[in-house]
Structure 1
Amino acid sequence: MVDLSQYLPILLFLGVALVLSSAFVFLPMIAARFTGAHKPTAEKLTEYECGFPAFEDSRSQFDVRFYLVAILFIIFDLEAAFLYPWAVSVFKLGWLAWGSMMVFIAELALGLVYAWKKGALEWE
């Protein structure tokens, strides 16, 4: 028979996290209603980030190439994040660390060549 009491701390943690996250979301909205801070006007509901009304529907689809460029940026940004700590400690770690990083960089280079050949980096 399985002892389920070992899962009690996890369930308590999830319960506390759910209660706190709900409180941080809903209590400010409720407080704004009761204190009078929630007074929507035409000026408050206008566009405030870009300064002009949107040209088209905000739910329009983006081109897939936008997402490809974003994913490639994240991949190579993470490469830089892994490359810096390695460069700081490569002389202490030895040849195995150097070889591992060269394999990592080669894999990323192959990925870049593949994306380049598929046309993921070309923008019209």
Structure 2
Amino acid sequence: MSTELILASVIFVSIGLILSGVFVLTRFIGPKNENSEIKNSVYESGITNPVGNTNIRFSVKFYLVAISFLLFDVEIVFMFPWAVNVAELGYYGLVKMFIFMGLLFAGLIYIYKKKALSWD
């Protein structure tokens, strides 16, 4: 066995033991308020008495907003390196980018047909 592997194993096991020890210590040292009414109450965004049920259905527009975010924002992560190296990639890279842009355009048509772009 190499010394690097042994050292990595020792560090990994040491970190695991230290973290386990910290979790056990916090269980014994930390405050214990299991029956506290305030601890078990619901608190979300400043609202202490929520109204309604949490098992409601969300509109598909939330999903479509996420798709539009992926289409219009994250695509830049893939397009910028292509634009930097477009001369080196040649026609093969150009064809691949047209395929990628076609898939993005298909997604744009999908969210347009679902009327996610209309803000009512």
Q: TM-score range by the shorter chain?
A: 0.5 to 0.7
Superposition TM-score, scaled by structure 1 size? 0.59
What are the equivalent positions in structure 2 for 1:69-80 lying under 5 Å apart?
69-80=65-76
In the alignment, structure 1 segments of 5+ residues that lack a partner are: 1-15
Letter of the 1:50 partner, please give it.
S
What are the equivalent positions in structure 2 for 1:20-39 lying under 5 Å apart?
28=23, 30-39=24-33
1:84 aligned partner: 80
2:53 aligned partner: 57
Q: CA separation of 1:67/1:39 partners in 2, compared to 1, >3 Å: closer, same or farther?
A: same
Identity in percent: 37
SS in 1 for 2:85: helix
Superposition TM-score, scaled by structure 2 size? 0.60
| RMSD between aligned residues | 3.2
Q: CA separation of 1:94/1:114 partners in 2, compared to 1, >3 Å: closer, same or farther?
A: same
What is the alpha-carbon distance in structure 2 between the residues aligned to residue 87 and residue 24 of structure 1?
46
Q: CA separation of 1:52/1:35 partners in 2, compared to 1, >3 Å: closer, same or farther?
A: same
